[in-house]
């Protein structure tokens, strides 16, 4: 390719918004090949075209309507997302405490009526990563180290999740009255496997906060809480 043709290609690339690095890569080659020529000396790397990021909310929706900016089809506005987040929280779905991208990157924050005390321990006895009341975690950690080989199948539940269990016909306390929906001692509950084994192991637990199972008998043998119900 002749220098003149290549210069036209570089200029076209710059006009089209090609990255500065692409232009800069070609320009030094021409300058080396044609050192001393006025046209080669005039070539300079193009600058990056500035990117513009716009928040899509009620105000910018009007700009989108003008057709000046293209957003992928189906992309919701901030206003739509906020409405959906509000609706989900009203239904009891656990979501991050904020409504920004950063808050969702941080993960769910269990907030609601009262001060909920919950963690999701990443441990062999919690393979399903169930959220569990804080006070129950050290009890199960001790039990696992002293002979209990089971796992947690259910921990903290929102009112919405408890209502879903009720609607499905599963044996469960009515939504609003289950220990699974609370976390502050003596509230809080877990369902586990190897429940008979856990009952035996916990007889030796030295801590002040007791986790009791077997109270509900064969209808719900896996259920453990401070009161057993």
In tens, the pLDDT along 167-206 reads 887 788 888 889 999 898 999 999 999 999 999 999 999 9
Rg (CA), the chain: 31
Q: SS3 of 132, please?
A: strand
From the candidate CATH numbers 3.30.70.360, 3.90.105.10, 3.30.1380.10, 3.40.50.20, the one assigned to the domain spanning 118-225: 3.30.1380.10
User: pTM for the complete prediction?
Assistant: 0.52
pLDDT tens digits, one per residue of 63-102 = 666 766 655 666 667 777 777 777 776 665 666 656 666 6
Chain mean pLDDT for the chain: 72
Asked if the peptide bond before residue 32 counts as cis, ω within 30 degrees of 0, the response is: no
- For residue 192, list its beta bridge partners: 152
- Range(s) for CATH 3.30.1380.10 in the chain? 118-225
Q: For residues 218 and 194, what is the distance between their CA atoms, to the nearest angstrom? A: 13
- Please report where in the chains the tokens 């809480």 appear, as a residue: 225
Residue 57: per-residue pLDDT: 57
């Amino acid at each position: 390719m002749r220098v003149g043709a290549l210069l036209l290609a570089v200029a076209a690339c710059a006009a089209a918004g090609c990255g500065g690095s692409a232009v800069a890569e070609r320009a030094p080659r021409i300058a080396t090949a044609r050192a001393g020529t006025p046209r080669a000396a005039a070539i300079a790397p193009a600058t990056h075209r500035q990117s513009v990021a716009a928040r899509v909310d009620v105000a910018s929706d009007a700009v989108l309507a003008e057709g000046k900016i293209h957003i992928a089809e189906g992309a919701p506005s901030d206003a739509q997302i906020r409405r959906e987040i509000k609706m989900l929280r009203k239904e009891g779905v656990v979501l991050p405490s904020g409504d920004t991208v950063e808050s969702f990157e941080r993960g769910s924050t269990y907030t609601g009526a009262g001060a909920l005390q919950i963690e999701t321990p990443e441990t062999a006895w919690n393979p399903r990563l169930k959220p569990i009341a804080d006070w129950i975690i050290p009890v199960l950690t001790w039990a696992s180290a002293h002979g209990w080989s089971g796992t947690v199948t259910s921990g903290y539940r929102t009112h919405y999740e408890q209502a879903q269990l009720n609607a499905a016909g599963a044996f469960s306390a009515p939504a609003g009255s289950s220990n699974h929906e609370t976390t502050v001692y003596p509230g809080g509950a877990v369902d586990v496997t190897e429940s008979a084994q856990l009952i035996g192991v916990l007889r030796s637990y030295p801590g002040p906060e007791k986790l009791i199972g077997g109270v509900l008998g064969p209808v719900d043998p896996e259920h453990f809480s401070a009161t057993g119900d």
